Amino acid sequence: MGLGRLRAYVLPGALAAAIFAAAGALVVASLRRPTPLAFAPTPAAPAEVGAARVGPLSYTVDASSQDAWRYFDFSRASAVERPGALDWDLALRRHHIIVNGGPGFSGQGGVLDLGRVPFDSVGVVPEAGYALNRAGRDTVNPVIERWYDYGFTSHLLTPKPRVYAVRTADGRYAKLQIVSYYCPGASAGCLTFRYVYQGDGTRRLGVSSSGTPLPAADTAKRSNARGLPPRGTRAGG
């Protein structure tokens, strides 16, 4: 048998073996699916926080419905049902997260990506640069739309280690980091995030720009420093 003919037999066989080996590796990897971090939904208990700084707190919203948006209000530190036009700050559905701001929305909400920084290092959030929702067939917020990495073998969504600044519906500020997307039993749709919310209208979230803690008295003095009305004055009661 000539060398050329031998190659004609060997090369396709080697290629087929490589393909089967790669496919087998993918199957094995998929069978070794890691157990994702999972949390049960936090019971809703809306209560006005006023001008207080709230957090850091962790909260889990049951956003597992394919069709229905679930809403979260920073000023009441809770998920809320059937909110009025200005009575919510975040809307969540499966892996989708939007804010109360942009075309067709009543609020001033926006999101700013602060990057891969330690959550506790963010003491003051910027005043400008917040992205509004983008209307379309499926409304999205372009900054927080891809908050996750997708595992092609595990088929799991893993939060990127990023911190986001959030401008709320009435122009107050919070910082947020996505922690998990899973409910107990590894079912999808329980969005867990940690956050700090500043109810006094300033952009300081508990530490100074140098990273040192602010005295409690200093935080109290700045209450309503921007002249914002109490968040309790809400559309729809």
**CB neighbour burial string for 151-187, b if at least 16 within 10 angstroms, e if fewer:** eeeeebbbbeebbbbbbbbbebbbbbbbbbbbbeeee
pLDDT at 70 over 50: yes
List residues bridging with 72 in a β-sheet: 79, 90
Q: Enumerate residues 6+ apart whose C-beta is below 8 A from 186.
A: 35, 36, 38
Give 118-122 contacts, CB < 8 A, sequence gap 24+. Answer: 118/163, 119/56, 119/163, 119/175, 119/177, 119/194, 120/56, 120/207, 121/211, 122/163, 122/165, 122/175, 122/205
Q: How confident is the model at residue 33 (pLDDT cuts 50, 70, 90)?
A: low
For the full predicted model, state whether its pTM sits above 0.85. no
Write the pLDDT tens digit of every residue in 112-134: 999 999 999 999 999 999 999 99
Write the pLDDT tens digit of every residue in 186-225: 889 999 999 999 999 999 997 544 444 444 333 333 334 3
Q: How confident is the model at residue 32 (pLDDT cuts 50, 70, 90)?
A: low
Cα 96 off chain centre by: 9
Write the pLDDT tens digit of every residue in 48-66: 999 999 989 999 999 999 9
Closest CA to 172 of 193, 142, 195, 147: 195
* Per-position DSSP letters for 183-202, written without gaps between them: -TTS-EEEEEEEEEEETTS-
Radius of gyration (C-alpha) of the chain in whole angstroms:
23
Residues 129-156: what's their mean pLDDT? 89
DSSP 8-state assignment for residue 132: P
CA distance 38 to 177: 15
Indicate the domain borders of the chain: 1-32, 53-221
DSSP 8-state assignment for residue 237: -
Are the C-beta atoms of 188 and 182 separated by less than 8 Å? yes
Of 41-45, 61-65, 81-85, 134-138, the one with minimum mean pLDDT is 134-138
Helix (H) or strand (E) holding 178: strand 173-182
Are the C-beta atoms of 206 and 200 separated by less than 8 Å? no
